[in-house]
Structure 1
Amino acid sequence: MGWRVMLDLLVQAAHRISGIFRGMFHELAVTLKAMMSGHAVDTLQMELEELENVFATVIIGSLAGMPLAPLGLAVEVAGYMEEEISTMIEKHAKYRDGLAAYASLGG
């Protein structure tokens, strides 16, 4: 067996090994990308919830003694808080009578 034949066999083996490694690294990259994108979505959802809480504090914070938000900002952001405002109104309607009855017990 000549050195050219051995060299050809080594080159073929190297190509096979590089193809195997290329496939493995491709699968690893796809898996990592999927994991990172799933984490990114969860992070964005959590950040959205926190921003909604900040908006609620800015708009309705005056009820807790915080300084008033500029009216233009409050009106602009209120459209994005439709769900939170409706939930707040539902809770207010639900607990309004109970709070009044509790307050009247004090005399």
Structure 2
Amino acid sequence: MLEGFFKNLEAFIEGFKQQSTSAIELQLHEMENAFALVCFGSLMGMPSPPSYLGMALLPYLEHEIKVMIFKSERLDDKIAEFFDLSDI
């Protein structure tokens, strides 16, 4: 009986670890997005930090820049494609 209790306790702890880890990963992802927005906000009309600060932070943004380039390559104007296909 005691062995079953410890087995259930271990399963509970493992599930708690997994939920905690996924919540922390989600928070990290959101913080990376906010960090990139602060550094590249000038692309959307927001005030940008001084250029020396942006250059100092550039090595830390390598992953975000790769994601931004990947997403921008995949962006398509679906309405323009529709009108192009329909010869309007």
Higher helix share: 1
| Identity over aligned pairs, percent | 30
Q: Which residue of 2 aligns with 1:101?
A: none
Amino acid at match of 2:33: N
Q: Please, what TM-score do these two structures have when normalized by structure 1?
A: 0.55
Task: Please tell me the root mean square deviation across aligned C-alpha atoms, in Å.
Answer: 2.4
Instruction: Note closer, same or farther for the CA distance 1:70–1:26 as it changes in structure 2 (3 Å cut).
Output: farther
User: Which structure is richer in relative contact order (CA contacts within 8 A, separation 6 or more)?
Assistant: 2
Q: Which has the larger radius of gyration?
A: 1
Structure 1: tracts of 5 or more residues without a match: 1-19, 96-107
Q: How many residues align?
A: 74
In the aligned structure 1, how far is the partner of 2:63 from the partner of 2:49?
20
**Separation in 2, partners of 1:28, 1:87:** 41
Equivalences for residues 1-107 of structure 1 within 5 A: 20=1, 22-71=2-51, 73-89=53-69, 91=72
- Runs (5+) with no aligned partner, structure 2: 77-88
CA distance in 1, matches of 2:32, 2:54: 13
